[in-house]
């Protein structure tokens, strides 16, 4: 029997192979589909949990925004945990709040005096008692103008708006009455007797504690150049003003004040440096060119324009700035020139100190310290009638044991001697002499009569001062510590101390007793010199009231005029607690004061047209380091009626909280900045 020669058997095998392959592939696909379905379900659950965590942190942020919590308290009322039961249907959540330890030390604001920005955009400190007849804040402008401020306003006396309106995004407070149109949120609180920390002087300290070295002006030889000024002390307003006029040899130039501290204590109107300085006023007038103070934003040249020529401390946490300090009756006037002054954060030796504001203009207050330097006897050029008892040992210290003495041989006998006195510590150059007092510790024996003394002071290398008399004392065993102030009719002593060349003086003492055989004894002779290194504002700058009148005896420490081309900008805090500011604005196109103004009185006059519609004066919301930071950690509990803060968190966020007044936050007005947002599940 023949075998069949067709392919039916092979086909069967192929069919079986195809069925097997299809079955394997189908099984794999079904398994993959099942895995994908389970993954989709899991991802959907994770997404839901993540969304719940997002919502919980957003709820926590909103809770903080509408609270009055502070850096030293809890985030959520009495607790640092926000419980959100049944937050999303059957799902509950909780958010734990904890402070950022890095920010807790360096950048919190426990009080307005220890904060890196003022509590208000404008604070005036003069009161109706200390500055009668003077407005705290006065604004004069056209009826169609609006003077805008960003931040709160506080006047310890009055607010007077003449024409137009004053508007701010925050609160307005005044202890005296308010006049004119004022718009604020909430409504202005005027003639208020309620205590408010915003009205207190923050008492900022100057960047230096002693007068820096006297500097010379840069050479003025070429027009339209860049003249570089060195940080230090400047005392000649006349020469400084002469440089900055359109008739000077360097007119049209940029006056660049390098970063650092500048102390302006002008002496053109007093006789201390009369032989070295041109007589004139103590007003430094910028009448030409462009003054740029601080770190430049680019290469300076005659074509440099302001504002924006120096680095603003709001924009940079590390750029160095300047501090312009004014002492005595020293003043600055911006007339036809232009000026931009940029403060900076003060280095604390290693890092930058963000606990104090970048004060750009500083008026030295009356709280500046006075030094008393006691000069004891270091030599006895003439022993006179005191003979061998007149020694440095016997006369050098007040000890009541060793003394120099002479015995009268007849009535009305006078004994004399001359001693030399030397400073125990060097008196720094730039010191202002406030008083010179000769001290004589003496006694005599006769109890029925009085002695009398005369003292004559002769500074080393200087003329002799007129003889001064000391009223005598009755005799007895007690030592009499008598002093005599030297009338400084001659300026040689003050001039030598200011120049740093004073090395000491000689003091001649004569004493007279009334009875024969009476003994006069001197225990010590001293010269007490009282001086200050940084002179507080005085004279016309502290005289009240300031009215802006040319006939007034008072003056403003900073004055700007409405002359064509005049511009003035301060990128930093202005602090003149004892003096007034008189600011004239013309064709304004930018903010004038950033980081707030604190002064005795602020008087502003607006004229011309204004293209700029923003805030003329502001205190920033986002000063570097001002906000205090917290961590918000979210926990989610599905299918649970409550949720705790244990286990694995789902989300962690770091947020910064910014308040207009850090010591008294306003609910609903707080700014929240999200610094970090990290899922952790």
Residue 318 has pLDDT above 70, yes or no: yes
Residue 356 has pLDDT above 60, yes or no: yes
Give the C-alpha separation, 659 to 671, whole Å. Answer: 7
The whole-number pLDDT of residue 274 equals 65
The whole-number pLDDT of residue 21 equals 55
The whole-number pLDDT of residue 178 equals 97
The whole-number pLDDT of residue 411 equals 67
- What is the radius of gyration, based on Cα positions, of the chain? 38
pLDDT digits (tens, 9 = 90+) for 259-306: 999 999 999 998 777 667 888 999 999 999 999 999 999 999 999 999
Q: Provide the mean pLDDT of the chain.
A: 86
Give the C-alpha separation, 576 to 570, whole Å. Answer: 13
Asked whether the bond before 619 is cis by omega within 30 degrees of 0, the reply is no
The whole-number pLDDT of residue 36 equals 46
Residue 83 has pLDDT above 80, yes or no: yes
| Whole-number Cα distances in Å, 480 to 391, 520, 530 | 20, 12, 22
431: DSSP letter: P
pLDDT digits (tens, 9 = 90+) for 166-196: 999 999 999 999 999 999 988 999 999 988 8
Residue 665 has pLDDT above 90, yes or no: no
Task: With cut-offs at 50, 70 and 90, classify the pLDDT of residue 140.
Answer: very high
The whole-number pLDDT of residue 196 equals 85
- The whole-angstrom distance between residue 186's C-alpha and the CA centroid of its chain comes to 29
H/E stretch holding 507: strand 505-513
Asked whether the bond before 186 is cis by omega within 30 degrees of 0, the reply is yes
Give the C-alpha separation, 63 to 57, whole Å. Answer: 10
Of the ranges 106-120, 382-396, 605-619, which one carries the lowest mean pLDDT score?
106-120
pLDDT digits (tens, 9 = 90+) for 563-618: 887 889 999 999 999 999 999 987 666 668 989 999 999 999 988 655 567 889 99
Multiple choice CATH, 371-531, 2.60.40, 1.10.8, 2.60.120, 3.20.20: 2.60.120
Asked if residues 452 and 469 have their Cβ atoms less than 8 Å apart, the reply is: yes
Select the highest-mean-pLDDT range: 328-342, 345-359, 482-496. Answer: 328-342
Task: With cut-offs at 50, 70 and 90, classify the pLDDT of residue 42.
Answer: very low
205: DSSP letter: P
Higher pLDDT, 44 or 621: 621
First to last CA, the chain: 79
Give the C-alpha separation, 88 to 85, whole Å. Answer: 8
Task: With cut-offs at 50, 70 and 90, classify the pLDDT of residue 672.
Answer: confident
Residue 126 has pLDDT above 80, yes or no: yes
Residue 675: count of CB within 10 angstroms of its CB: 14
Residue 507 has pLDDT above 70, yes or no: yes
- CA angle at 63 for the pair 61 and 69, rounded to the nearest 5°: 100
The whole-number pLDDT of residue 104 equals 40
- CA angle at 424 for the pair 419 and 430, rounded to the nearest 5°: 110
Task: With cut-offs at 50, 70 and 90, classify the pLDDT of residue 38.
Answer: very low
H/E stretch holding 41: helix 8-65
Asked if residues 331 and 541 have their Cβ atoms less than 8 Å apart, the reply is: yes
Residue 2 has pLDDT above 50, yes or no: no
| 310 phi, psi to nearest 5 deg | -130, 160
Cα torsion 520, 521, 527, 530: sign: negative
| 339 phi, psi to nearest 5 deg | -150, 135
pTM above 0.85, yes or no: no
The whole-number pLDDT of residue 210 equals 85
The whole-number pLDDT of residue 533 equals 83
Q: pLDDT exceeding 90 applies to what percent of the chain? A: 59
> Environment class of residue 101 by beta-carbon count within 10 Å: exposed (0-12), middle (13-18) or buried (19+)?
exposed
Residue 554 backbone class (left: φ over 0; alpha: ψ -120 to 50; beta: rest): beta
The whole-number pLDDT of residue 258 equals 97
Give the C-alpha separation, 598 to 262, whole Å. Answer: 19
- Burial code (b: 16+ CB inside 10 Å, e: under 16) for 152-187 equals bbbbbbbbbbebbbbbbbbbbbbbbebebebebeee
- CA angle at 190 for the pair 186 and 195, rounded to the nearest 5°: 90
Average pLDDT of the residues in 510-523: 92
Q: Which two tokens stand for residue 209?
A: 């504690």
The whole-number pLDDT of residue 35 equals 44
Residue 425 has pLDDT above 70, yes or no: yes
């Amino acid at each position: 029997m023949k075998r069949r020669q067709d392919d039916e058997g092979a086909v069967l095998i192929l069919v079986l192979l195809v069925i097997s392959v299809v079955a394997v592939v189908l099984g794999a696909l079904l398994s993959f589909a099942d895995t994908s379905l389970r993954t989709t379900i899991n991802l959907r659950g994770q997404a839901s949990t993540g969304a719940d965590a997002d919502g919980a942190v957003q709820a926590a942020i909103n809770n903080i925004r509408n609270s009055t919590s502070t850096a030293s308290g809890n985030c959520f009322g009495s607790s640092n945990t926000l419980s959100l039961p049944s937050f999303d249907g059957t799902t509950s959540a909780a958010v734990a709040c904890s402070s950022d330890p890095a920010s807790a030390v360096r950048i919190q604001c426990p009080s307005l005096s220890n904060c890196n920005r003022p509590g208000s955009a404008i604070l005036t400190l003069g009161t109706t008692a200390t500055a009668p007849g003077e407005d705290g804040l006065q604004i004069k402008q056209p009826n169609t103008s609006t003077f805008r401020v960003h931040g709160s306003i506080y006047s310890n006396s009055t607010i007077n708006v003449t024409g137009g309106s004053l508007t701010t995004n925050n609160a307005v407070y005044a202890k005296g009455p308010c006049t004119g149109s004022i718009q604020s949120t909430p409504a202005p609180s005027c003639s208020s007797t309620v205590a408010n920390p915003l009205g207190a002087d923050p008492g900022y300290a100057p960047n230096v504690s002693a007068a820096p070295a006297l500097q010379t002006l840069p050479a003025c030889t070429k027009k339209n150049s860049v003249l570089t000024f060195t940080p230090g002390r400047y005392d000649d307003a006349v020469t400084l003003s002469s440089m900055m006029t359109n008739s000077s040899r360097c007119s049209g130039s940029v006056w660049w004040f390098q970063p650092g501290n500048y102390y302006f204590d002008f002496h053109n109107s007093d006789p201390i440096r009369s032989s070295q300085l041109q007589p004139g006023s103590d007003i430094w007038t910028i009448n030409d060119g462009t003054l740029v103070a601080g770190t430049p934003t680019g290469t300076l040249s005659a074509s440099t324009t302001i504002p924006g020529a120096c680095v603003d401390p709001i924009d940079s946490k590390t750029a160095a700035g300047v501090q312009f300090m004014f002492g005595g009756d020293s003043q600055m006037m911006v007339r036809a020139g232009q000026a931009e002054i940029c403060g900076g954060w003060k280095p604390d030796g290693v890092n930058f100190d963000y606990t104090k504001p970048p004060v750009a203009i500083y008026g030295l207050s009356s709280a500046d310290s006075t030094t008393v330097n006691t000069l004891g006897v270091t030599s006895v050029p003439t022993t006179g009638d005191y003979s061998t008892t007149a020694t440095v040992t016997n006369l050098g210290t007040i000890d009541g044991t060793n003394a120099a003495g002479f015995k009268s041989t007849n009535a009305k006998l006078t004994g004399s001697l001359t001693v030399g006195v030397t400073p125990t510590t060097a008196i720094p150059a730039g010191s202002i002499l406030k008083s010179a007092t000769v001290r004589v510790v003496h006694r005599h024996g006769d109890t029925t009569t009085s002695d009398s003394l005369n003292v004559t002071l002769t500074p080393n290398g200087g003329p002799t001062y007129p003889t001064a008399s000391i009223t005598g004392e009755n005799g007895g065993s007690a030592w009499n510590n008598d002093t005599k102030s030297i009338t400084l009719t001659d300026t040689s002593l003050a001039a030598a101390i200011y120049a740093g060349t004073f090395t000491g003086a000689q003091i001649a003492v004569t004493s007279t007793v009334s009875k024969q055989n009476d003994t006069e004894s001197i225990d010590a002779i001293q010269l007490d010199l009282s001086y200050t290194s940084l002179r507080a504002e005085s004279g016309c700058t502290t005289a009240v009231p300031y009215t802006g009148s040319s006939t007034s005896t008072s003056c403003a420490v900073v004055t700007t005029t409405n002359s064509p081309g005049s511009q003035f900008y301060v990128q930093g805090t202005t602090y003149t607690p004892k003096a007034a500011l008189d600011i004239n604005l013309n064709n304004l196109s930018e903010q004038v004061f950033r980081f707030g103004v604190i002064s005795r009185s602020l008087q502003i006059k607006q004229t011309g047209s204004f293209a700029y519609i923003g805030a003329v004066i502001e205190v920033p919301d986002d000063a570097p380091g001002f906000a205090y930071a917290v961590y918000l950690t979210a926990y989610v509990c599905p299918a649970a009626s409550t949720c705790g803060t244990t286990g694995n968190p789902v989300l962690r966020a770091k947020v910064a909280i910014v308040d207009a007044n850090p010591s008294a936050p306003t609910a609903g007005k707080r700014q929240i900045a999200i610094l970090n947002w990290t899922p952790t599940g």
